[in-house]
Amino acid sequence: MNGTGALGRYGEELAARLLTEAGMTVLARNWRYGRVGEIDIVAHDGDALVICEVKTRRPGPFGQPLAAITPTKSDRLKHLAECWLQQQGGAPPGGVRIDVVAVLVPRRGAPLVEHVRGVA
């Protein structure tokens, strides 16, 4: 697997599978809103809307995937969630939650996938 694009797509595929296996319904992947940014995965978890950021890394100098969720990134995800809701006609009864799926892909062996709910 070469390049960050392929690694990122691989991580998003693992994340979508994990969320689906956890009983969520994936509504959209790589949803873009103009120049504001992109939501990796939008899903329903029961009656809640989940905005999910996927962070995929290999072990190395960039550290753990969850460390990439900075306050700035968190604010952007909240803004993107508002944009999604405006386009879709408002919030569902269960509200909105922002989750992160962190994927650590070692050089050998199975990837480690961690789902963290309600990070922002």
Between strands 25-33 and 48-57, the pairing is: unpaired
Q: Note the pLDDT tens digit of each residue in 39-93.
A: 999 999 999 999 999 999 888 766 666 777 788 988 999 999 999 999 998 889 9
Is pTM, for the whole model, over 0.85? yes
DSSP of the chain, one letter per residue?
--HHHHHHHHHHHHHHHHHHHTT-EEEEEEEEETTTEEEEEEEEETTEEEEEEEEEE-SSTT--GGGG--HHHHHHHHHHHHHHHHHHTS--TT-EEEEEEEEE--SSSPPEEEEE----
Q: What pLDDT was estimated at residue 25?
A: 97
5-37 pLDDT tens trace:
899 999 999 999 999 999 999 999 999 999 989
Domains present along the chain, CATH in parentheses: 3-116 (3.40.1350.10)
pLDDT score of 63: 63
